[in-house]
């Protein structure tokens, strides 16, 4: 039993790397599409929305992040392969560095719906929701791994009797760089 407790003490904290407000949707879970037409109805409700950063504006005592909204998956990460519903603004008194919070960075924010603001995009004016931030999580960029396996030319090819190089997850396979291998 001691070993099990020790094992759990080291393993379970790895499951809690996200803030609780990002992991769990608030109750009631107000969706972005519900608030577009009736922003004032949902004023002061807690929301958890996410998307990609379009622009970061820092004023004297306020940072405003303009976000392109995407629906969230079960972990709270924006699903950028789904259709976007529009834009919203995140506000915070903290400083958000535009070098860290770059354009197209995926974020999820939990906060309170503060009201609405008008954005001028080209010649069009849009009425967008404004969320006062309590918690923000910046998602790491997803990288694509090259995971091909080389099966060689058949039995007995090369120094291996199975005809393939045993480490199939190298990005640059030695066989392509050393044809005599």
CB crowding 30-69: b at 16 or more within 10 Å, else e: bbbeebbeebeebeeebbbbbbbbeebeeeeeebbbbbbb
Q: Is the pLDDT of residue 67 over 60?
A: yes
If you search the block for the tokens 């995140």, which residue do you land on?
90
What's the pLDDT tens digit per position in 98-108?
999 999 999 99
**9 three-state secondary structure:** helix
Which strand (E) or helix (H) includes residue 67?
strand 63-70
CA pair distance 118, 149, nearest whole angstrom: 53
Handedness of CA 64, 65, 70, 71 (dihedral sign): negative
Count of alpha carbons within 13 angstroms of residue 113, beta-carbon side: 26
Which residue ranges form the domains of the chain, and what is each CATH number? 17-138 (2.40.50.140), 144-181 (no CATH)
Q: pTM of the predicted model, to two decimals? A: 0.70
Q: What is the mean pLDDT of the chain?
A: 80
């Amino acid at each position: 039993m001691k070993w099990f407790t020790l094992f759990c003490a080291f393993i379970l904290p790895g499951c809690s790397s996200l803030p609780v407000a990002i992991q769990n949707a608030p109750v009631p879970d107000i969706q972005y599409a519900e608030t577009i037409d009736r922003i004032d109805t949902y004023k002061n409700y807690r929301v958890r929305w996410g998307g990609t950063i379009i622009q970061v504006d820092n004023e004297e005592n306020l940072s405003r992040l303009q976000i392109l909204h995407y629906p969230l998956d079960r972990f709270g990460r924006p699903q950028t392969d789904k259709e976007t519903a529009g834009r919203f603004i995140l506000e915070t008194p903290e400083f958000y560095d535009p070098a860290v919070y770059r354009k197209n960075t995926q974020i999820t924010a939990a906060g309170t719906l503060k009201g609405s603001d008008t954005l001028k995009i080209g010649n069009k004016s849009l009425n967008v929701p404004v969320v006062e931030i309590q918690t923000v999580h910046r998602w790491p960029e997803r990288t694509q791994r090259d995971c091909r396996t080389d099966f060689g030319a058949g039995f007995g090819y090369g120094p291996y009797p199975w005809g393939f190089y045993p480490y199939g997850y190298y990005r640059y396979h030695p066989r392509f760089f050393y044809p005599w291998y």
